[in-house]
């Protein structure tokens, strides 16, 4: 497969600053209460690892694995849960940790699914909020970086499972 053209869009330093800020905001808002951070695999794994270390409140961690069908760069809205959380949510303060919100379909599904388990509170933290192609009106409570459109890779984000290990976020130049 030929290597697609890409250029750095968000540097590792810029990402680290946003993650630090999010950690401070979250720590401030929860006043030392224990937070259950629910990471959405696989894309959030690096963001998640950095975010937990930027939060000073006590945390417990758990993971959910979702897959949405669609083309290579566009999700279809049909979401499947491949691995559920293991910790019961009832009575807990829960934050969903996602890599990127695009159409919003993935989070819309997960948010309402988890709400049925009666957490004390349920919020959303996303590293990237891609706003141009939103299909459902879902908003994150904590946003690292807002972008308009374009397909990005690196820092956990993949294209066809590749490039998750790139330390910076790159814009994939298609065509």
Residues with catalytic function: 102
Tokens 């590792």 sit on residue: 12
Of 51 and 101, nearer to ligand IMP (C-beta) is 101
Q: Whose Cβ is closer to ligand IMP: residue 104's or residue 144's?
A: 104
Considering only residues 23, 39, 43, 156, which one is a binding residue for Mg ion as defined by CB under 5 A? 43
H-run or E-run covering 17:
helix 12-29
DSSP class of residue 162 equals B
Distance, CA of 136 to CA of 80 (rounded, Å): 17
Cβ burial 100-121 (10 Å sphere, 16+ → b, else e) = bbbbbbbbbbbbeebeeeebee
Give me the least distance between CB of 18 and ligand IMP, in Å please: 16
| Residue of 106, 88, 119 whose CA lies nearest to 97 | 106
Q: Shortest approach of ligand IMP to residue 59 CB, angstroms? A: 21
Cβ nearer to ligand IMP, comparing 30 with 151: 151
As measured in angstroms, the least distance from the Cβ of 86 to Mg ion is 22
Binding site for ligand IMP (CB under 6 A): 43, 68, 75, 98-106, 130, 151-153, 157-158
Residue 95 contact among ligand IMP, Mg ion, none, beta carbon within 5 to 8 Å by kind: none
Binding site for Mg ion (CB under 5 A): 43
């Amino acid at each position: 497969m030929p290597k697609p053209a890409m250029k750095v869009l968000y540097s590792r330093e810029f990402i680290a600053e946003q993650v630090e800020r999010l950690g401070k905001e979250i720590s401030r808002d929860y006043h030392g209460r224990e937070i259950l951070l629910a990471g959405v695999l696989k894309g959030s794994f690096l963001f998640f690892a950095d975010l937990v270390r930027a939060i000073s409140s006590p945390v417990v961690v758990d993971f959910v694995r979702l897959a949405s069908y669609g083309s290579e760069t566009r999700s279809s809205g049909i979401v499947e849960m491949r691995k559920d959380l293991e910790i019961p949510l009832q009575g807990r303060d829960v934050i969903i940790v996602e890599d990127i919100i695009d159409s919003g379909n993935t989070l819309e599904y997960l948010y309402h699914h988890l709400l049925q388990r009666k957490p004390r509170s349920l919020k959303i933290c996303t590293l990237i909020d891609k706003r141009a192609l939103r299909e459902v009106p879902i908003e994150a409570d904590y946003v690292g970086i807002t972008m308009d459109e374009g397909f990005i890779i690196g820092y956990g984000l993949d294209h066809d499972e590749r490039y998750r290990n790139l330390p910076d976020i790159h814009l994939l130049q298609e065509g």
